[in-house]
Structure 1
C-alpha cells in the first residue's frame, strides 16, 4: 500500500511551466512593424501634400492679388480713358482745347487699341490738329529764327513731328494697350481658374492623406492592443500554472504523508514480532508471566486457601492420597458434610 501511495504521489507532479505564445507574438510583431512603416509613409505623404497645398495656395493668392491689382489699375485707367474721350468730344466742336491739352489727349488715346469710341474721339480732333499745327509752326519758327533758314526749317518740322501734329490723325491708327476698364481677358481668367482648381485638388489631397494617416494610426493602435492581449494571456497562463503548482504540491505532501504513516506502521509491526525485538526488551518484560500462567497461579492460590479451611475435603484435582487424620470422616472423599442436628 505504501508503494502504491508513493507511486500515486509521483504521478501528481505539476505540469511544465507554460511559455509565451511565440508564434502569435512573432506574427503580431511583424504585423506591427508593417503597420508602423505604413504609418510613417502616410505621415510623409501628409507632409508632402501639405507642402503642395501651401505652394498651390500661395500661387493662387499671388495670381488673385495680381489680378486684383490689375483690376484696380484697369479701373483707374478706364476712368481716365473715359474722361479723355469725353473731354475730346466736348472740345472738338469749337476747338476750345489748348494746344498742349489737345496734344496730350491725342497721345493718351493713341496708346490703346482701336475701338469705335476712341477712334471717333480722335477723328473729331482732326480739325483742331490743323489749327494747332499753324499755331505751333509759328511758335517754333520764332524760336528758331537765329538758325540758318534750312536748319530752322528742319528744326521746326522735327518739333511738329514730336508733338504729333505733323501727320494727319485720320485715318486713326491702333495702339498696343488693351482698352482699359473692360473685362479681363479670357487667358487671365483661364489662368486663375486653373490655379483655383490646383489649390482645390491640393486641399483634397491633404484630406485624403490625413485620412490615410489616421487609418494607419488606428492600425498601429490595434496592433499594440493585440500585443497587450497576448501579454495578458501569457500572464494568465503563468498564473494558472502557479496555482496548479501549489495545488499539486499540497496533494503531493498529503499523499507522501499518508505513505510515510503506512510505512512506519508496517515497520513497527514487523519489529515487535521479530526475535530480535523480543531479545531487545527489558528483563522485567521477559520475567512477566503471560495470561494463562496468571490464571493457573490464581487457581492454585484458591485451592490452597480452601484446603486450609477444610483440610479433609478432597477436591477433584487434589492428590488421591488420603490426608492424615481425615480417613474416618465420611466427607474426606469429597462427600458433603452432614448438617448439624
Structure 2
C-alpha cells in the first residue's frame, strides 16, 4: 500500500502528518509513504529528518479577500495540481491524507482528479480554507478538536510517540539535568511554537529578575531566527536560553508550568503529557487559538491571557503564584491530562488503512 500525506507550512500541519506516518509504519512496515510539501515550509527540514520521502510542489496560498493576487491563482493552482498528480502517479498512490496548509488544496484536487480516496484531518476548531475544500470532496473527515465547527468525526490530533508515552513524573529529574537545571526548584517552560513568539520572549526575559528572586528557574526556547534583546546574566536559579529544542518531550518533563501560545498542536501535546499552561493566544487568524486555550481553562488545566496585556507584571501576577503552589500545580496537571488524547495516531492510521482497502 502507498500513502501520500499532504500537510505543510508550520509544525501544526507537519507533525500530525509525521505522527500518522509513524503509526502507519508501526501497523505495517511495508507501507510506502510519501509526503508532499512546498519549499517555503518547515517540512523541508522536518520530513527528511524523520526518514520520509518529500516531494516539493509549488505553493498556492489562497487569498482571503478580493486582491490582484486572485487573478493569478487559477493558473498557479493548475500548475500545482498537475505537480501533485504527477507525484500520485509516480508513487502509484492508494490514498491521500491531507492536514491543511498551502500544499493541501492542490493535493485534494489532484487526488479527486485521479479518483483516489481522500482523508481530511483538521486539528483546529475552525478549519482553514484548504480543509474546507477537502471536506467537500470526501466523506472521510476527522477532527482534532471536540465540538469543532467542522463536519468530521472527533479523533484527536496525532502526536509523536515520545510525547504520548512520556511519563513526566518519572522523567523529570533526568530532563532537568539534561538542560542544566536543578531538581528541587519550580520550573517554568517558555516557548512560542515552532517559530517562536516575540511578545512572549520579551515579557519572559523582562520578568527574569522577579522569577529568580522567587526561586523559579526557567527553560526558555526562543524559536529559530529569534534573537534575545538581552540575555539574563548568569546566576541562580538558572535561566536557560535556547534558540531551539528538538526534544520537546524532555522540555515538557522538566517543567511544572508552561508560558506559551495555544496552537492546536501545542494544546494537544500539553494535555497529552498533563502539563498545565499559561496560554497567550496568537492575536491574529480566525480566533482558533483562543478557543483551544479556553477549552483547557474551562477544564482546569490552565489560564489564558491576551497578547496585548502580556508584560512582566502579568507574568508575576498570574504565573508566579501557580509556580509557588505545588498543590495547585498538581491539580492543574491532573486536569490537563484528563483533556488529552494519546491514541489519535493509531486510530487515524487504522481508519486510513480501512479506507484505502
The answer to whether the superposition gives a TM-score over 0.5 is no
Higher helix share: 1
Q: TM-score, normalised by structure 2?
A: 0.16
| Larger RCO, structures 1/2 (Cα 8 Å, 6+ apart) | 1
Higher strand share: 2
Bigger Cα Rg? 1
